[in-house]
Amino acid sequence: VMDPEAMFKQGFLADVYNERPVKPVITRFPPEPNGYLHIGHAKAIAVNFGFAKYHGGQCYLRFDDTNPEAEEGVYFDSIRDIISWLGFTPFKETYSSDNFGKLYELAEKLITLGKGYVCHCNDEEIKLQRGGAKGTSPRFRCSHADRTVEENLSEFRAMRDGKYKPREAFLRMKQDITDGNPQMWDLAAYRVKNEPHHRTGTEWKIYPTYDFTHCLCDSFENITHSLCTTEFIQSRVSYEWLNKTLGVYEPMQREYGRLSLSGTVLSKRKLRALVEKKIVRGWDDPRLYTLIAVRRRGVPPAAILEFINELGVTTNRTIIDIKRFEQSIRRYLERTVPRLMLVLDPIPVVIEDADELDGTELNIPFSPKDPAMGDHKVKFTKTVYIDRSDFREVDSKDYFRLAPGKTVGLQQVPYPIKATTFSKDDSGNITEVRAVLDKETKKPKAYIQWVGSEGSHTVEVRITNPLFKSEDPDAAEGGFLNDINPDSEVVYPNAMVESGFDEVRKRAPWPEAAGEDKLGKGGPESVRFQAQRVAYFAMDTDSTDDKIVLNRIVSLKEDAGK
Ligand code: ATP
Ligand code: MG
Ligand code: MG
């Protein structure tokens, strides 16, 4: 097991700290509340909350809500919930919009310093000023840049007071157009917008841009290390320019590589299409990689953190195949969850001479490797259920499971069984197998899982497979919607799980030491186990008092099929 703090001890994040080795460290995680967080955001959460925690500091949760459109209450709640599920506690919850007043004051200050002007140019004109379509002609400023401070102040106040419609006027920073970095070419600071804002209602008719807001909000919160993704490398210059120009506290921005997954889609627009076309059940469908989906599927939060830690943090963008993600989750589950027996497609086996064993209690450990997980009792019964795929009507030499005349071991049962006969229904499906105990064979060639007829549960099992057929759904002919895997979910409505499930459920969350436990946040998805010879499963939120629904978290081995 890897050092869970490895990503902070060496490499990029250690270098970032050493550049500014201050205490206390203050960071922030600044999501835009316009959608559900996805697996990429888990990296940003791990980086920002983790870095602060590692250095004994604090991390703010800042809702970056400067865009009045597309912000809905449900996203705020979901973001909070996921952060706490991942085991982190924000120092404070803040909103960029809390600072609208302060930001406005600083915009006036910028104007007063001769570093801001109100401009009325359209997109075409601005493009020309920035060197034309190819960016090769000389850059220049429009005449608005020559306005006096007084004129700029009164124009900016006119913007504020609703004199201008959207696009008729905007405030620009007066930076340095001779600089090679486009982030210095007199960026927009404020725009006119008419939409009401989620929190400030109709109070404002102008809204600050990302470039104006982000560095200042970081400054207000005394952020020591402002960690963002590499798309913002060029923005570092404007970030530093604005804080310096205004003479406010200067946080240090550094950029790490985004995490992307191949074989799936993460963009909101695409996820929305999948949800609206009912290709998936919702934003939390276990086949998606939103964090609410990954959670519902049963992936433990600590496994996600371990995965991110394993990848490490560098300045490179990391594109990971979902198989590698699953491999990492599998390794985590292997050592942390209990084992049970489950059959997907049960057929009854009547063991004719097992009368004296009927009702015997077997003591079965939850884990062959970890005695601390304890054990549980399972009743062996004269009729047991095995998986349809573990029986064959016609035996062959290279086949080691049950067939007429053939012996197989039942896991944890002292004697193997040998099939004698079987019956079928009109359509040729096996309805029952008859067998006898085989006390001669000491070491059967194979053991199969079974479920007894007492105390077991009939459950619905959903085998979740990749939602897309290809590694790169976007590159598929006709787009990602043309790349849907028709077998992305295979349902076994009458699967059976052994009685030990009740205890696993009672003792959830598994793993017992996980963050969700400490926070008391274990939902049905924290009821996790390895179904021996089948897969890892967790309880789905569709489960009711009368019906248990299980999701496959991951297969036991890569490419296990089903
Ligand atoms: P998306 O468009 O995918 O929603 P975003 O950048 O608009 O991404 P924000 O809500 O602004 O999403 O993200 C909040 C924080 O999470 C930002 O600091 C952003 O850099 C970071 N982040 C977003 N996506 C990733 C990713 N794939 N990997 C790492 N960090 C990410
Ligand atoms: Mg963003
Ligand atoms: Mg976003």
What are the pLDDT digits (tens) for 377-387?
999 999 999 99
State the pLDDT confidence band at 521, using cuts at 50, 70 and 90: low
Over range 80-91, report the average pLDDT. 95
Q: Which of 130, 199, 258, 331 is catalytic?
A: 258
- Judge if the beta carbon of residue 258 lies within 6 A of ligand 1: yes
pLDDT at residue 2, as a whole number: 87
393 and 519 share one domain = yes
Q: Is residue 284 part of a domain?
A: yes
Q: Which of 268, 323, 379, 533 is catalytic?
A: 268
Kindly give the number of the ligand 1 atom that is closest to the alpha carbon of 32: 10
State the pLDDT confidence band at 74, using cuts at 50, 70 and 90: confident
- For the segment 140-160, what is each residue's pLDDT rounded down to a tens digit? 999 999 999 999 999 999 999
Residues 6+ away with beta carbon under 8 Å from 510: 336, 337, 338, 504, 526, 527, 528, 529
- Under DSSP, the state recorded for 306 is H
- Judge if the beta carbon of residue 347 lies within 6 A of ligand 1: no
Coil, strand or helix: which one is 401? Answer: coil
254 and 352 share one domain = no
Q: Which CATH number is 164's domain given?
A: 3.90.800.10
- For the segment 331-374, what is each residue's pLDDT rounded down to a tens digit? 999 999 999 999 999 999 999 999 999 999 999 999 998 899 99
- Judge if the beta carbon of residue 310 lies within 6 A of ligand 1: no
Return the higher-pLDDT residue of 51 and 134: 51
Task: Check if 258 is active-site.
Answer: yes
Q: Whose CA is nearest to atom 1 of ligand 1?
A: 267
Q: Whose CA is nearest to atom 25 of ligand 1?
A: 40
413 and 311 share one domain = no
133 and 267 share one domain = no
Q: Is residue 352 part of a domain?
A: yes
374 and 277 share one domain = no
- Judge if the beta carbon of residue 229 lies within 6 A of ligand 1: yes
pLDDT at residue 510, as a whole number: 86
Q: Mark the residues whose beta carbon lies below 5 A from ion ligand 3.
A: 32
282 and 408 share one domain = no
pLDDT at residue 562, as a whole number: 42
231 and 207 share one domain = no
435 and 342 share one domain = yes
445 and 548 share one domain = yes
82 and 116 share one domain = no
Over range 127-133, report the average pLDDT. 94
Q: How far is the CA of 63 from the centre of ligand 3 (A)?
A: 11
For residue 470, give its domain range: 337-555
What DSSP assignment string belongs to 239-287? Answer: HHHHHHHHT----EEEEE--EEEESS---HHHHHHHHHTTSSSSTT-TT
Q: Mark the residues whose beta carbon lies below 5 A from ion ligand 2.
A: 32
Q: How far is the CA of 558 from the centre of ligand 2 (A)?
A: 34
- Judge if the beta carbon of residue 270 lies within 6 A of ligand 1: no
| Exposure on the CB side of residue 203, measured as CA atoms within 13 A | 10
Q: How far is the CA of 40 from the centre of ligand 1 (A)?
A: 7
Reply yes or no on whether the pLDDT at 432 is more than 90.
yes
Q: Is residue 283 part of a domain?
A: yes
Which of 163, 189, 211 finishes a domain?
211
- Judge if the beta carbon of residue 223 lies within 6 A of ligand 1: no
Q: Is residue 256 part of a domain?
A: yes
- Under DSSP, the state recorded for 139 is P
Which of 157, 186, 211 finishes a domain?
211
- For the chain, percent of residues with pLDDT exceeding 70: 97
In terms of average pLDDT, the best of 182-191, 370-379, 500-509 is 182-191
- Judge if the beta carbon of residue 32 lies within 6 A of ligand 1: yes
Over range 95-109, report the average pLDDT. 98
Q: What is the pTM of this model?
A: 0.94
Which of 191, 211, 231 finishes a domain?
211
Q: Which of 36, 41, 270 best tests ligand 1's pocket when mutated (most atoms within 8 Å of CB)?
A: 41
- For the chain, the average pLDDT equals 95
Compute the residue count for the chain.
562
Q: Is residue 1 part of a domain?
A: no
204 and 263 share one domain = no
Over range 17-26, report the average pLDDT. 98
Q: Which CATH number is 429's domain given?
A: 2.40.240.10
Distance CA 69, CA 122 (A): 22
Task: Check if 268 is active-site.
Answer: yes
Over range 89-116, report the average pLDDT. 98
Task: Look at strands 528-531 and 339-340 and give their pairing.
Answer: parallel
- Judge if the beta carbon of residue 35 lies within 6 A of ligand 1: yes
Q: Which of 60, 229, 305 best tests ligand 1's pocket when mutated (most atoms within 8 Å of CB)?
A: 229
Task: Check if 377 is active-site.
Answer: no
Q: How far is the CA of 173 from the centre of ligand 2 (A)?
A: 21
Question: What domain count does the chain have?
Answer: 3
Q: How far is the CA of 33 from the centre of ligand 3 (A)?
A: 7
Ligand in closest contact with the CA of 308: 1
Q: Is residue 560 part of a domain?
A: no
Q: Which CATH number is 295's domain given?
A: 3.40.50.620
Residues 6+ away with beta carbon under 8 Å from 562: 344, 463, 465, 490, 535, 555
84 and 227 share one domain = yes
Q: Is residue 561 part of a domain?
A: no
Q: Is residue 332 part of a domain?
A: no
Which residue blocks in 113-247 are alpha helix, DSSP H? 123-129, 149-160, 210-220, 235-246
Distance CA 499, CA 362 (A): 12
Task: Report CA-CA distances (Å) from 234 to 17, 64, 84, 229, 413.
Answer: 21, 20, 32, 11, 66
